[in-house]
C-alpha cells in the first residue's frame, strides 16, 4: 500500500507538515557567462568557507578542466553554506541547453531559485530554457541583476524583460509578484549585492539576508514515513554508485533497511551503508538526514535516476522523473588511421568499449549502446557540445578513436508520421546583415518566427531542424563578418522538414602518407582553403583542405619543386602561405559528411575519408550507384 506524497503550498497548526526553518534549498539558474559560478564564489567567501590564508582559485565550482577552459558549467554541483545559523544548500546548474538533463532533475531538490540576469544583455535564450523548468516546478524565483558595473548596464530594462519572459513561460501571479518584490542588484566579480542600483553596499550580505529572510524553507513532515528520491548519480571506484537527492519526508539513518522503488514500479530491499550531507565544498559523513535536507546515500546497488528510497512497511510513492531524450547520436570506433598509436596510449576497441560502459554508469543523460555488428559503440546525447565534452575528456585520458557524422534521432507519432527535433535559434546582429542571416537560415530549413529591430542591433528568432543547425554558426559569423551572437536550444519534436542542403564544396584529399611541403601547399591554396601547414604529418585519405567548388579532389601534399641547372630571378623567394583553417572538435563534427570521419587523438583532431584509398572509394561509389562529379 503506497502513501502518495504531495507538495503543500501552505501549512496550519492542524497539519503535520512543518517548515524546516534552519534549511534553505536554492538553485542558481542563468544563461551561459552571466556570472552564476562567480556569484557562488563570493557567497562562499562571504560565509568564511575558506581559511584566511587559503589560496583558492576563481570559479572554484568549475572544477572540471573543460568547464574552466570553456567558461561554462557542465555538471550540476551541490554545495552548502551557513549564514546566521541557517544551512543554505546551493545548486549550481548548467546554463547550456545541451546539459538540460542535469537542469530538470536537480531543480527537484530546490524550493526556490535565484535567476541571474546580465544587466546589459538581459534574459537570453538559454535563460528561457532553465527558467521554464523552474517555473514548471513551482519554485519561488528571486531575481539577481548582475554586472551592474558594466557601462551598457540597463537595470530597468533587464528587470522588465525578465518579468515579460516569466509571463511568456506561464508564471503564476504569485510567482510574478514574488519576483517583483525580491530583486537584488549585484556585481559578482566585484563582490557586492545591493537592494537598489545606487546603493553603496560593498559586500554580499544583502543577498544572503534576502535568501534567509524571504525565500521559503522546506515544508515537510519529519515524522512521516521516509521518502527520498535520487536525482543525481555520483560514482566512486571504491563504493560504486552514490545516490544524491532530497529527503521529502521522514528521516534516513545509517544502516537502515529501505525499499528502493524504480521508475517502472519494481522494488527491492537495500541497506544504507553510509550517509553524507553537503558541507561547503565537500561532503560530511553523518548518522542521519532529516526531511528537507539534501544528502548522498551509499549502498544501493545499481541505483538510478528517479529511484525512490522509502520505508519498507509504509512505502511512499513519488512522481517518476522524466529525462529529456537524446536528439543526436554518434558512433565511436577504434581508430584505423595509419598514424594510430603515435600520440595516444589507449587505442584498442575493447578499451574504448570499457570506457564508454563506465560513462554509461556515471552519465544517465546519455544513451550508450554497442552496435549489433560490434564494430563500434553508439552514443546518443542532447547536442554536439554534449557529445564533444565526452570526446574531449577521453582524448585527455590518452584515448585514440574515430567518430562519424552526428545523426539526428527521428521519432514517429501515433499516425506513423516522421518527427524530428526542432530547435529555437536566436541571432543578434547589425541590421545591415539581417537579410543575409535570414537567407542562411532559409537555406538550412529554418523559419523566422520573430524579428525585433533595435537602435544598433536586430534580434531574430528562428525555428529550425537540428539537422540544419550543424555547421550553421560558422556561416552566420561569416556573413555577419563576426558581428553576431548566435544561440540555440531544443524546442520540440516537429514534422519532418524534408531534405536540407549539406556542404556544397568538395574536399582536398591527400593521396599519400607524408609530411606537407610548402611548395605543394602554395599551389593548392589557389584552389581553396587549406587545413594543414608545412610539416604537418598527413596520410592517404586525410582531408587537407576544402575546394572552392563542388566535388572532391585528390592532391599531392608532398610535391616538391623540380630543380634545374638555371636560376630564375624569383628562385629564392619563399612561398607565401595563408594560415590554415583550424577546427575545434565541435566544428569538425559539424563539418564532415556521411562518408567522412573525425580522428580524435590526445594531440590532434584530423578529418579523413571513411575509405582511405581512392580506388576503393571509387569502387564503393559504383556499388552504391553514386556517380563522381
Whether 6 shows a pLDDT value over 50: the answer reads: no
Q: How far apart are CA 261 and CA 268, in angstroms?
A: 7
C-alpha distances (whole Å) from 451 to each of 259, 425, 427, 431, 469 are 54, 12, 10, 11, 19
Sign (positive/negative) of CA torsion 361, 363, 365, 367?
negative
CB contact burial 87-110 (16+ within 10 A = b; e otherwise): bbbbbbbbbbbbbbbbbbbbbbbb
Q: What is the pLDDT of residue 383?
A: 79
Q: What angle do CA 37, 326, 485 make, to 5 degrees?
A: 50
Cα 207 → chain centroid: 28
How does pLDDT run across 534-569, given as a tens digit for each residue? 999 999 999 999 999 998 999 999 888 766 655 554
Between 241 and 148, whose confidence is greater?
Answer: 148
Contacts of 492 (CB under 8 A, 6+ apart): 421, 422
CB 260 within 8 A of CB 23: no
**Residue 463 labeled ligand binder:** no
Do β-strands 407-408 and 596-600 pair in parallel, antiparallel, or remain unpaired?
A: unpaired
Between 263 and 103, whose confidence is greater?
Answer: 263
**Residue 148 labeled ligand binder:** yes
Contacts of 462 (CB under 8 A, 6+ apart): 424, 425, 426, 427, 441, 446, 447, 448, 449
* Rounded mean pLDDT, 15-37: 78
Q: How far apart are CA 364 and CA 567, in angstroms?
A: 67
Q: How far apart are CA 62 and CA 429, in angstroms?
A: 30
- CATH architecture for the domain at 506-560+575-624: Beta Barrel (2.40)
Cβ neighbours of 588 (radius 10 Å) = 22
Q: What is the pLDDT of residue 282?
A: 75
Percent helix / strand / coil, the chain, rounded to 5: 25, 35, 45
Q: What is the pLDDT of residue 597?
A: 94
Taking each helix axis as running N to C, give the angle between helix 155-168 and helix 173-181, from 0 to 180 degrees, rounded to the nearest 10.
170
Cα 296 → chain centroid: 24
**Residue 282 labeled ligand binder:** no
Whether 154 shows a pLDDT value over 60: the answer reads: yes
**Residue 33 labeled ligand binder:** yes
How does pLDDT run across 496-518, given as a tens digit for each residue? 888 887 788 899 999 999 999 99
Across the chain, mean pLDDT equals 82
Q: How far apart are CA 587 and CA 580, in angstroms?
A: 15
C-alpha distances (whole Å) from 332 to each of 338, 355, 390, 522, 613 are 18, 11, 11, 35, 21
Q: How far apart are CA 260 and CA 228, in angstroms?
A: 10
The CATH classification number of 18-218 equals 3.40.50.300
Q: What is the pLDDT of residue 627?
A: 60
**Residue 149 labeled ligand binder:** yes
Q: Where in the chain is the domain with CATH 2.40.50.250?
A: 506-560+575-624
**Residue 552 labeled ligand binder:** no
* Rounded mean pLDDT, 195-199: 89
How does pLDDT run across 56-93, given as a tens digit for each residue? 444 344 444 444 444 444 344 578 888 888 999 988 77
* Rounded mean pLDDT, 324-335: 88
* CA Rg value for the chain: 28
392: nearest Cα among 587, 168, 611: 587
Q: At 142, is the pLDDT very low, low, confident or very high (cuts 50, 70, 90)? A: very high
232: nearest Cα among 93, 378, 26, 28: 93
Q: At 144, is the pLDDT very low, low, confident or very high (cuts 50, 70, 90)? A: very high
Which residue is it, cell 546582429?
Answer: 429
558: nearest Cα among 500, 608, 493, 511: 511
**Residue 93 labeled ligand binder:** no
| SS3 at position 268 | strand
Q: What is the pLDDT of residue 239?
A: 74
Beta strands in 5-53 (DSSP E): 18-19, 23-30
Q: Where in the chain is the domain with CATH 2.40.30.10?
A: 227-310
Query: Grid coordinates standing for 497?
Result: 522538414
**Residue 146 labeled ligand binder:** yes
Query: Grid coordinates standing for 193?
Result: 549585492
CB 564 within 8 A of CB 549: no
How does pLDDT run across 277-307, given as a tens digit for each residue? 888 777 888 889 998 898 888 888 888 778 8
Query: What's the 3-state SS for 568-613?
Result: CCCCCCCCCCCCCCCCCHHHHHHHCCCCEEEEECCCCEEEEECCCC
**Length in residues, the chain:** 629
Q: Where in the chain is the domain with CATH 3.40.50.300?
A: 18-218
Whether 42 shows a pLDDT value over 80: the answer reads: yes
**Residue 324 labeled ligand binder:** no
Q: What angle do CA 433, 437, 441 make, to 5 degrees?
A: 175
The CATH classification number of 411-495 equals 3.30.70.240
Q: What is the pLDDT of residue 379?
A: 93
Establish how many alpha carbons lie within 13 A of residue 604's alpha carbon, considering only the half-sphere containing its beta carbon.
18
Taking each helix axis as running N to C, give the angle between helix 125-136 and helix 155-168, from 0 to 180 degrees, rounded to the nearest 10.
50
The CATH classification number of 227-310 equals 2.40.30.10
Which residue is it, cell 568549475?
Answer: 62
Q: Where in the chain is the domain with CATH 3.30.70.240?
A: 411-495
Whether 107 shows a pLDDT value over 90: the answer reads: no
**Residue 37 labeled ligand binder:** yes
Q: What is the pLDDT of residue 439?
A: 92
Q: How far apart are CA 474 and CA 71, in angstroms?
A: 20
C-alpha distances (whole Å) from 352 to each of 328, 344, 598 are 20, 12, 16
**Percentage above 90 pLDDT, the chain:** 29
Amino acid at each position: 500500500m503506497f502513501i502518495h506524497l504531495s507538495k503543500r503550498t501552505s501549512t496550519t497548526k492542524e497539519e503535520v507538515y512543518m517548515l524546516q526553518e534552519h534549511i534553505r534549498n536554492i538553485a542558481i539558474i542563468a544563461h551561459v557567462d552571466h556570472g552564476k559560478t562567480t556569484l557562488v564564489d563570493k557567497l562562499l567567501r562571504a560565509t568564511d568557507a575558506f581559511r584566511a590564508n587559503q589560496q583558492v582559485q576563481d570559479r572554484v565550482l568549475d572544477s572540471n578542466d573543460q568547464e574552466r577552459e570553456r567558461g561554462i558549467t557542465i555538471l550540476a554541483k551541490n554545495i552548502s553554506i551557513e549564514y546566521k545559523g541557517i544551512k543554505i544548500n546551493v545548486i549550481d546548474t548548467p546554463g547550456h541547453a545541451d546539459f538540460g538533463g542535469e537542469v530538470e532533475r536537480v531543480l527537484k531538490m530546490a524550493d526556490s531559485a535565484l535567476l541571474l540576469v546580465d544587466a546589459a544583455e538581459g534574459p537570453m535564450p538559454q535563460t528561457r530554457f532553465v527558467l521554464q523548468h523552474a517555473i514548471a516546478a513551482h519554485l519561488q524565483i528571486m531575481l539577481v541583476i548582475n554586472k551592474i558595473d558594466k557601462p551598457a548596464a540597463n537595470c530597468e530594462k533587464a528587470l522588465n524583460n525578465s518579468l515579460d519572459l516569466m509571463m511568456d513561460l506561464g508564471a503564476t501571479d504569485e510567482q510574478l509578484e514574488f519576483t517583483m518584490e525580491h530583486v537584488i542588484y549585484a556585481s559578482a566579480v566585484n563582490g557586492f549585492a545591493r537592494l537598489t542600483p545606487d546603493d553603496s553596499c560593498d559586500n554580499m550580505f544583502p543577498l544572503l539576508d534576502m535568501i534567509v529572510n524571504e525565500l521559503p524553507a522546506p515544508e515537510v513532515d519529519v515524522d512521516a514515513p521516509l521518502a527520498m528520491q535520487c536525482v543525481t548519480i555520483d560514482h566512486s571506484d571504491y563504493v560504486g554508485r552514490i545516490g544524491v537527492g532530497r529527503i521529502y519526508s521522514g528521516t534516513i539513518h545509517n544502516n537502515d533497511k529501505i525499499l528502493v522503488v524504480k521508475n517502472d514500479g519494481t522494488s527491492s530491499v537495500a541497506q544504507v551503508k553510509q550517509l553524507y550531507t553537503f558541507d561547503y565544498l565537500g561532503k560530511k559523513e553523518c548518522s542521519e538526514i532529516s526531511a528537507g535536507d539534501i544528502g548522498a546515500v551509499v549502498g544501493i546497488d545499481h541505483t538510478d535516476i528517479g529511484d525512490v528510497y522509502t520505508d519498507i512497511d509504509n512505502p511512499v510513492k513519488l512522481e517518476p522523473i522524466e529525462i529529456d531524450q537524446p536528439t543526436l547520436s554518434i558512433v565511436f570506433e577504434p581508430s584505423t588511421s595509419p598514424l594510430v598509436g603515435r600520440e595516444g596510449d589507449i587505442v584498442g576497441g575493447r578499451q574504448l568499449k570499457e570506457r564508454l560502459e563506465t560513462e554509461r554508469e556515471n552519465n544517465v543523460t546519455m544513451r550508450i549502446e554497442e552496435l549489433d555488428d560490434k564494430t563500434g559503440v553508439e552514443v546518443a546525447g542532447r547536442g554536439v557540445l554534449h557529445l564533444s565534452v565526452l570526446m574531449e575528456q577521453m582524448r585527455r585520458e590518452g584515448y585514440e578513436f574515430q567518430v562519424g557524422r552526428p545523426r539526428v534521432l527521428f521519432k514517429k507519432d501515433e499516425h506513423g508520421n516522421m518527427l524530428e527535433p526542432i530547435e529555437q535559434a536566436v541571432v543578434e546582429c547589425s541590421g545591415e546583415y539581417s537579410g543575409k542571416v535570414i537567407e542562411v537560415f532559409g537555406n538550412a530549413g529554418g523559419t523566422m518566427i520573430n524579428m525585433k529591430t533595435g537602435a544598433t542591433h536586430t534580434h531574430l528568432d528562428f525555428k529550425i531542424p537540428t539537422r540544419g543547425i550543424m555547421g550553421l554558426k560558422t556561416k552566420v559569423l561569416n556573413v555577419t563578418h563576426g558581428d553576431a551572437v548566435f544561440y540555440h536550444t531544443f524546442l520540440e519534436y516537429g514534422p519532418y522538414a524534408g531534405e536540407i542542403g549539406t556542404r556544397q564544396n568538395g574536399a582536398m584529399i591527400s593521396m599519400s602518407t607524408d609530411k606537407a611541403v610548402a611548395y605543394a601547399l602554395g599551389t593548392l591554396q589557389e584552389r581553396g582553403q587549406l587545413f594543414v601547414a608545412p610539416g604537418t604529418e598527413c596520410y592517404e585519405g586525410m582531408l587537407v583542405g576544402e575546394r572552392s567548388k563542388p566535388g572532391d579532389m585528390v592532391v599531392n601534399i608532398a610535391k616538391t619543386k623540380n630543380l634545374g641547372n638555371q636560376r630564375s630571378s624569383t628562385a629564392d623567394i619563399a612561398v607565401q602561405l595563408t594560415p590554415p583553417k583550424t577546427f575545434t572538435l565541435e566544428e569538425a563534427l559539424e563539418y564532415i559528411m556521411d562518408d567522412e570521419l573525425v580522428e580524435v587523438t590526445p594531440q590532434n583532431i584530423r578529418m579523413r575519408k571513411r575509405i582511405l584509398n581512392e580506388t576503393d572509394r571509387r569502387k564503393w561509389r559504383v556499388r552504391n550507384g553514386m556517380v563522381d562529379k
